[in-house]
Amino acid sequence: MSNLEDLYREIILDHYRSPRNRGELPSPPAHKVEGFNPLCGDEVTLYLDVHDGVLSDIKLTGHGCSISQSSSSLMSAAVKGKPLNDVNATIETFKQLMTGHESALTTEEEADEEVDLRTLGELAALQGVVKFPVRIKCATLAWNALRQGLDEIANQN
């Protein structure tokens, strides 16, 4: 049962049961962006406040499995109040953590790139997801929405 415990680490169950930064922000001024996984119906809505190059506030609503919900909660905790550069770096690092497997689908031979887990903090708890390929989409749902939201904000300016 070790794989399963690796997936459902205590920290993940904790974020699932008590999600952080849950709620809405008035929009506008906050930027609202939605993520949706058609295969399983998981949904997440993000509200992003960006001021002076800083993601000053983030709130989210949505429903879905423990992985998608805890990942969005963990994400919000990791990026809230951070400069956009750091946020972008975190998104990239997280995606790299998750794509070890996805790219294996494309070219079997390609070696997994190593991700420096120390930079991830609590997010590293999601590492176990990589062993469950179908759940990667759950874990990345909120992150893709965040990426999209930040891009939309950048394009507005």
Binding residues vs other proteins (CB under 8 A): 1, 3-4, 7-8, 13, 16, 36, 38-42, 63-67, 69, 105-108, 132-135, 138
Report the nearest approach of other proteins to the CB of residue 43 (Å).
8
Q: How far apart are CA 146 and CA 140, in angstroms?
A: 10
CA distance 81 to 95: 20
- Residue 91's closest CA among 103, 79, 101? 79
CB of 129 to other proteins, least distance (A): 10
Dmax (CA) of the chain: 50
Cite the DSSP H helix spans in the chain.
2-7, 10-17, 66-79, 84-106, 133-156
> CB of 62: closest distance to other proteins in angstroms?
11
Nearer to other proteins, 26 or 38 (CB): 38
How many residues make up the chain in this entry? 157
Residue 8 or 88 with smaller CB distance to other proteins: 8
Shortest approach of other proteins to residue 101 CB, angstroms?
A: 9
Task: Please identify, using beta-carbon distances, which residue of 16 and 143 lies nearer to other proteins.
Answer: 16
Residue with smaller CB distance to other proteins, 82 or 101? 101
